[in-house]
Amino acid sequence: MKRKIRRLPLFAGLSALAFARPSRLPGQLVIQITNHCNGSCPQCGMRREAEIRRANLPAETVRNALRDCAETGVEAVSFTGGEPFINIPEILKLLDYAGDLKIPCLRSGTNGYMFAPGGEAAGLDQLIPFVEAVVKSPLRNFWISVDSADTGTHERLRGLPGVIGGIAKALPVFHARGLYPAVNLGINRCIAGAMIPPLEEPGDEDAFLENYRRGFSAFFTKAVDMGFTMANVCYPMSFETANLETGKPAYGAISDDIMVRFSRRELRLVFKALLETIPAFRKAIRIFTPLSALYALSRENSRDLLFPCLGGICYFYMDSRDGHIYPCGYRGDEDLGASVAALRTAPGSQRPFCEKCHWECFTDPSQLFGMFRHVIRHPLNVCFGKHFDRQMLRLWFSDVKYYLACDLFDGRKPFKHMINLEHTL
Ligand code: SF4
Ligand code: SF4
């Protein structure tokens, strides 16, 4: 109990410091080190067959950005892709470099191709060198993406036969060496196997909701069965939901494929299904996704319940094609230049109330930490303003308790399966 209480000021302090400052402050930089990928997911604009301009960020560009991050006090750096581990020696060198600079929170992940070389699950002798190299790196969080509870569906979509068996074999090896990978689900219409059909008629809403409840439930069950102790959910990234017809998306994962294209009505139901499913699994697996964010996203008045997205204010994205920084992966029409240090004075709108998309990497922490920023800046509004929604506040407090109980999702710590919290909705 004492440890939890001691972590509370640290959590609040970090958040408050990061979000109370008036200027742009990079708290998190997502660096797309490559947009090459060896996966074939039809719902992703970077799949291996896609005809896009491919690029790797030069190592020197990444090192410069990392030095800037360390000097500017950036708390978290994520290496994303494409497939970030497509060049394993290269990313391990970059991670070591970032570790030497003492950047506190380093994250990256993989589509798992190395666990299924040659189209079948790898043997232990093939897995162990990779696992040991990742464990030895300074990564705090390592994710492995899985997009369906159904093994055949996931492997067919990704074009990586054998990958689920390989991952399941690798997980105990990671755990024995002290790293606890997170499974990363990108929401799509095949999360449970067969395609969940689009919602055509208003009367079909209950069936659509139930399909997604079952799908999420099947997914978390599968994740636990595979041996994962941590999970994250990425919200759909489609043009329609992103409402970016006039913008120029920087992050190539955005797609208009039916697999990830949802109407706003469908999206609200998807978020509701996830909101209603997660509580039953929070004791079985650590799930990052804050319920307060899902509650807000599932409501028609979501704008009143969401704290402003901090993309372009505290969080930034660096694109592999030009090494330039953008407010996020979506606002590709706002080039903020190549220097992290120059962000404080960079021109361009801060758009504190941007709600063009639901990029989970920025939406979830903005909701979770936005409260601290809000309390510091508008203390009376918390009691009397538009964010005063009892259910949202209740879920937000339960999220904070859960995050503390989960050691702030430290991927170097095991899951203490007995979390003594109530999470009923
Ligand atoms: S979702 Fe990931 S693994 Fe699949 S094609 Fe896109 S970047 Fe590659
Ligand atoms: S809501 Fe956030 S992540 Fe989405 S486009 Fe706006 S600033 Fe970017």
Q: Is the CB of 311 under 6 A from ligand 2?
A: yes
Compute, in angstroms, the gap from residue 252 CA to the centroid of ligand 1. Answer: 10
E strands present in 212-295? 230-234, 286-287
Q: Is the CB of 143 under 6 A from ligand 2?
A: no
Max mean pLDDT among 23-37, 79-93, 325-339 falls in 79-93
The mean per-residue pLDDT over the stretch 185-205 comes to 90
Q: What are phi and psi of 3, to 5 degrees?
A: -65, -40
Higher pLDDT, 197 or 202: 197
The mean per-residue pLDDT over the stretch 115-123 comes to 93
The ligand with the least distance to the CA atom of 366 is 2
- Measured N-to-C along each axis, helices 151-158 and 163-177 cross at an angle, to the nearest 10 degrees, of 100
- Measured N-to-C along each axis, helices 88-100 and 59-72 cross at an angle, to the nearest 10 degrees, of 20
Alpha carbon distance, N-terminus to C-terminus of the chain: 24
- The three-point CA angle 240-43-186 to 5° equals 90
Compute, in angstroms, the gap from residue 311 CA to the centroid of ligand 2. Answer: 5
The answer to whether residue 111 scores a pLDDT higher than 50 is: yes
pLDDT of residue 25: 57
Closest CA relative to residue 145, chosen from 136, 154, 134, 153:
154
Q: What is the pLDDT of residues 225-252, one digit of tens each?
A: 999 999 999 998 765 555 544 456 677 7
Return mean pLDDT, the chain: 86
Compute, in angstroms, the gap from residue 315 CA to the centroid of ligand 2. Answer: 10
Q: Which domains does the chain have, with CATH numbers?
A: 26-409 (3.20.20.70)
**Ligand 1 atom, smallest distance to 158 CA:** 4
Higher pLDDT, 399 or 11: 399
Cα Rg of the chain (Å, integer): 20
Q: Is the CB of 44 under 6 A from ligand 1?
A: yes
The half-sphere exposure of 82 on its side-chain side, counting CA atoms within 13 A, is 26
Q: Is 293 left (phi over 0), alpha (psi -120 to 50) or beta?
A: alpha
**Ligand 1 atom, smallest distance to 81 CA:** 7
- What is the amino acid identity at position 252? G
Compute, in angstroms, the gap from residue 377 CA to the centroid of ligand 1. Answer: 39
Q: What are phi and psi of 230, to 5 degrees?
A: -150, 145
The mean per-residue pLDDT over the stretch 118-147 comes to 96
Would you state the structure tokens that stand for residue 267, as one six-digit string?
């999206």
Buried b (16+ CB within 10 A) or exposed e, 12-42: eebbbebbeeeebbbbbbbbbbbbbbbbebb
How far apart, in whole angstroms, are the C-alpha atoms of residue 327 and residue 216? Answer: 31
The ligand with the least distance to the CA atom of 28 is 2
Best residue for ligand 1 mutational test, from 40, 158, 163, 185 (most atoms within 8 Å of Cβ): 158
**Ligand 2 atom, smallest distance to 311 CA:** 7
Three-state DSSP at 33 gives coil
The answer to whether residue 337 scores a pLDDT higher than 70 is: yes
- According to DSSP, residue 248 is labeled -
pTM given for the model: 0.90
pLDDT of residue 270: 97
Q: Is the CB of 82 under 6 A from ligand 1?
A: yes
CB 307 within 8 A of CB 388: no
Closest CA to ligand 1's atom 3: 39
Closest CA relative to residue 147, chosen from 254, 251, 219:
219
- What is the amino acid identity at position 227? G
Max mean pLDDT among 43-52, 201-210, 267-276, 368-377 falls in 267-276
For residue 71, give Cα distances in angstroms to 36, 65, 239. 29, 10, 36
CA dihedral 51, 53, 57, 58 (to 10 degrees): 120
Higher pLDDT, 60 or 19: 60
pLDDT of residue 2: 40
Q: Is the CB of 359 under 6 A from ligand 2?
A: yes
pLDDT of residue 357: 82
How far apart, in whole angstroms, are the C-alpha atoms of residue 363 and residue 355? Answer: 9
Q: What is the pLDDT of residues 347-369, one digit of tens each?
A: 655 556 787 788 888 989 988 88
Compute, in angstroms, the gap from residue 255 CA to the centroid of ligand 2. Answer: 16
The ligand with the least distance to the CA atom of 184 is 1
Q: Is the CB of 356 under 6 A from ligand 2?
A: yes
Compute, in angstroms, the gap from residue 255 CA to the centroid of ligand 1. Answer: 11
The answer to whether residue 18 scores a pLDDT higher than 60 is: no
Compute, in angstroms, the gap from residue 330 CA to the centroid of ligand 2. Answer: 6
Helical ranges in 278-389 per DSSP H: 291-297, 302-305, 360-377, 379-384
Is the sign of the CA dihedral 278, 279, 285, 288 positive or negative? positive
Compute, in angstroms, the gap from residue 273 CA to the centroid of ligand 2. Answer: 23
Q: What is the pLDDT of residues 134-153, one digit of tens each?
A: 999 999 999 999 999 999 99
Closest CA to ligand 1's atom 6: 44
Q: Is the CB of 248 under 6 A from ligand 2?
A: no
The ligand with the least distance to the CA atom of 333 is 2
CB 98 within 8 A of CB 74: no
How far apart, in whole angstroms, are the C-alpha atoms of residue 324 and residue 334? Answer: 10
